[in-house]
Structure 1
Amino acid sequence: MGEGNSLPEGAQPPDTVAQGSRDETSPWEPCYLLRNMIGKSRWKILAVVALFLVMAWYSISREDSFYFPVQMEGLKCPQGEVEKKAAQLIGNYSRDQPTFLQLKDFFWIQKTSTYQLPYGVRGSEDVLLRVLAITNYAMPESIQNPILGIGFQLDARLKCLRCVVVGNGHRLKNSSLGNTIDKYDVVIRLNNAPVVGYEGDVGSKTTMRLFYPESAHFSPKVQNNPDTLLVLVPFKAIDFHWIETILRDKNRVLKGFWKQPPLIWDVNPKQVRILNPFFMEVTAAKLLSLPIRPSRKIKQKPTTGLLAITLALHLCDLVHIAGFGYPDSSNKKQTIHYYEQITLKSMSASEHNVSHEALAIKRMLEIGAIKNLTYF
């Protein structure tokens, strides 16, 4: 009698119990089997979930240190704060240095520079004089006398210069930051990074574009605004010769470049500026601890991006960055720019130490000298 409920081997239980009156604890029920499986492994599941939550929290808290979601409307202007933070990074910091080289400093007075390019102009004074005679040094009125942001009377004329330095990094791709970037008073861009076709992610406003001959865009009028300042970053003496031959329409310089720069460069000379090498010196010596004197062993130089951040610290009352940072060195296939398919491998032969620069930028982020619109 004790075996009256047993079934032959391989038989299925008869479905004789009416639906709704079925025993919910029947070992043949799928729900029972599922509950039994979950019961046995619930601690493992809870452990996995807990581990996931801890990792997510760590990732978010770590990223928040280098990420700052910005609402430009009503943004308060921390006047004097950037200057104080810059003084923490740069010893004997002063904003007295001119942003651009001026003809008067080299024409009437025989001004000698301590260093050669890119940290000074020693030995390049003659060609520099000719270049400064056909370019300009004036800072636009909108930068010299910015109006305090929304919520203040327009005639207050209180200084609040809000700047963003737009890097060329892959992190800008699909970022939808274009409208935010265009709201800043000053938008600084780098090298030949395009805006046409990428406006949704990088914006369309360009106040300044830092470049050197090899990085000059072949269509400057297409990729910049009519009033964009085209700021030459001179790394070597031949860079002055290049800009002179372009602007004076003389025989082009063909040798001395690691990549052929434009031979035809359609720009208004009055929009061209020559960046004071002081900023390159400060970036190298104070932010990267690089030797300023020429050395055969150490040929590292700051990137245009880090140089642009140094410039922004000098000019602005609020400094944000976007599109900075390179992929991890183990990620060989990840592109490094938002507009082209080159990878980190292309940086292997350069004179830039991107890991060293990343540490410098993170330090600026940590002390609050700059804020980040993208993750870093």
Structure 2
Amino acid sequence: MRTMKPTRSLMLVLCPTLVLGFLYYSSGRLHLRTLGQKSQGDVDSLLFVGRVVASVYDKQGFLIKLDGKLPLELQYKYGNLSKGECKPGYSEAKMTSIYPKFVKPVPMFLEPNFKRLAKISSYPPPFGIKTQEKIIDVILAETKNYGLGPELDSLSCKRCIIIGNGGILSNKSLGSKIDEYDVVIRLNEAPVSGFEKDVGSKTTMRITYPEGAIQKPERYEKTSLFVFSAFKPLDFRWLRQMVFKEKLRGTEGFWKSVARSVPREPEDMRILNPYFIEEAAFRFIGLPYNNGLMGRGNIPTLGTVAITMALHNCDEVAVAGFGYDMSSPRAPLHYYEKLRMSAIKESWTHNILKEKDFLRKLVTAGVIQDLTNGI
């Protein structure tokens, strides 16, 4: 009997193997495309179905090869929209295409039934509400409102922009463009008055914490929401006194001076869902878990927390004023003061490099738009 040549034998073995490998890879990709309807456990198990599929994603679960091109299904979905028209579900669709574990929706602010959110119930501040349930109940009973307001909540498509405090905003004349967004989110005490040409005049909400809040009542906008983000249990005690217009009793435990009053009525005050801090820190950026407690280098900046919130609640997301150019030590650190870039010191709480890597993924993939090109 005539024996087959070694080359032919090898081909007979390799061909079925290659076909099976292709089918396996295609199957994995198909599963990952439909993860939006699956539970977190299903998602985690599917991400590791095989070396071929796993190698497509980094250790955080993001697609390794990123570009700004729309997947074919999104080209069909948004191809007929006019230029500048709000694209419903766009940020979610783009985010899911590069990060299949993305789960939407997640409420922007805490509401009376917040205890049903199992994820945040497992952690104390800043990653959750454990140990603070009673005081949150008291605060929410007084504020009575838990959304953006009737007009914005009723929009079928929302375009949101987060304004960072970076000096890169100076002399860009982006004010009128910023004011075109439906939701304008500002951070801490960054001023608007006197800087409207570059940062706009519209403020939908200002996200802050006790040490970052505006301390001079006259500097608050007249109509914006005061959105509180807690980083420690003491912060909730401070908020309670602000909501009930009580005299601030004791400031021990704060790392710098804090506002003694907030010129807002309770119905204009909100508590940011701490889910966004937990997700940004441990899932998106990959900061040290530290048993779910605040520790060295595991707190995301408020800007990244705001972006995370917007990804879950806005149809389109843009940013401006983000990014530190450490190669230019004489460049202005913030748009509103003369402090220079060289003033930045190594942060105990933040990991700026890892955070910037995450934000670059979002910009590169077109999940968010960076108007000042600083990320």
Following superposition, the deviation at residue 222 of structure 1 comes to: 3.3
Aligned residue among 346, 349, 372 for 1:348: 346
CA distance in 1, matches of 2:213, 2:98: 30
Following superposition, the deviation at residue 180 of structure 1 comes to: 0.7
Corresponding residue number in structure 1 for 2:227 = 231
Corresponding residue number in structure 2 for 1:60 = none
Following superposition, the deviation at residue 191 of structure 1 comes to: 0.8
Deviations for 1:230-256, whole angstroms, at most 9, x for unmatched residues?
110111111100011222214423111
- What letter is aligned with 1:289? G
User: Are the aligned partners of 1:167 and 1:305 in contact in 2 as well (CA < 8 Å)?
Assistant: yes
User: Are the aligned partners of 2:297 and 2:351 in contact in 1 as well (CA < 8 Å)?
Assistant: no
Following superposition, the deviation at residue 360 of structure 1 comes to: 1.0
1:205 aligns to 2:199 (yes or no): no
Q: Secondary structure at the match of 2:142?
A: coil
1:261 aligns to 2:269 (yes or no): no
1:191 aligns to 2:222 (yes or no): no
CA distance in 2, matches of 1:307, 1:333: 28
Aligned residue among 116, 128, 153 for 2:124: 116
CA distance in 1, matches of 2:319, 2:112: 32
Q: Secondary structure at the match of 1:129?
A: helix
CA distance in 1, matches of 2:312, 2:260: 33
Q: Secondary structure at the match of 1:260?
A: coil
Q: CA RMSD in A?
A: 2.6
1:141 aligns to 2:150 (yes or no): yes
User: Are the aligned partners of 1:213 and 1:242 in contact in 2 as well (CA < 8 Å)?
Assistant: yes
- What letter is aligned with 1:85? K
1:216 aligns to 2:218 (yes or no): no
Following superposition, the deviation at residue 220 of structure 1 comes to: 5.1
Following superposition, the deviation at residue 112 of structure 1 comes to: 7.9
The structure in which a higher percent of residues are helix is 2
Instruction: Structure 1: give runs of 5+ residues left out of the alignment.
Output: 1-63, 66-72, 147-158
User: Are the aligned partners of 1:319 and 1:369 in contact in 2 as well (CA < 8 Å)?
Assistant: yes
User: Are the aligned partners of 2:217 and 2:261 in contact in 1 as well (CA < 8 Å)?
Assistant: no
Q: Secondary structure at the match of 2:162?
A: strand
Corresponding residue number in structure 2 for 1:306 = 304
User: Are the aligned partners of 1:219 and 1:266 in contact in 2 as well (CA < 8 Å)?
Assistant: no
Larger Rg: 1
CA distance in 1, matches of 2:169, 2:221: 18
Corresponding residue number in structure 1 for 2:157 = 160
User: Are the aligned partners of 1:196 and 1:223 in contact in 2 as well (CA < 8 Å)?
Assistant: no
User: Are the aligned partners of 1:105 and 1:111 in contact in 2 as well (CA < 8 Å)?
Assistant: no
Following superposition, the deviation at residue 173 of structure 1 comes to: 0.6
Corresponding residue number in structure 2 for 1:372 = 370
Corresponding residue number in structure 1 for 2:93 = 84
Aligned residue among 239, 242, 251 for 1:243: 239
CA distance in 2, matches of 1:244, 1:214: 15
Give the alignment of 1:310-321 within 5 angstroms. Answer: 310-321=308-319
Q: Secondary structure at the match of 2:186?
A: strand
Corresponding residue number in structure 2 for 1:131 = 139
CA distance in 1, matches of 2:117, 2:186: 33
Deviations for 1:64-112, whole angstroms, at most 9, x for unmatched residues?
98xxxxxxx9503222221122224555322232211112435x99998
Worse-matched range after superposition: 130-139 or 358-367? 130-139
Instruction: Structure 2: give runs of 5+ residues left out of the alignment.
Output: 1-66, 69-81
- What letter is aligned with 2:329? K
Question: What is the count of residue pairs matched by the alignment?
Answer: 291
Following superposition, the deviation at residue 297 of structure 1 comes to: 6.4
CA distance in 2, matches of 1:111, 1:289: 17
Worse-matched range after superposition: 170-179 or 285-294? 285-294
1:277 aligns to 2:285 (yes or no): no
User: Are the aligned partners of 2:105 and 2:313 in contact in 1 as well (CA < 8 Å)?
Assistant: no
Worse-matched range after superposition: 291-300 or 170-179? 291-300
Following superposition, the deviation at residue 187 of structure 1 comes to: 0.5
CA distance in 1, matches of 2:117, 2:100: 28
User: Are the aligned partners of 1:90 and 1:287 in contact in 2 as well (CA < 8 Å)?
Assistant: no
Following superposition, the deviation at residue 332 of structure 1 comes to: 3.0
Q: Secondary structure at the match of 1:133?
A: helix
User: Are the aligned partners of 2:108 and 2:147 in contact in 1 as well (CA < 8 Å)?
Assistant: no
CA distance in 2, matches of 1:264, 1:184: 29
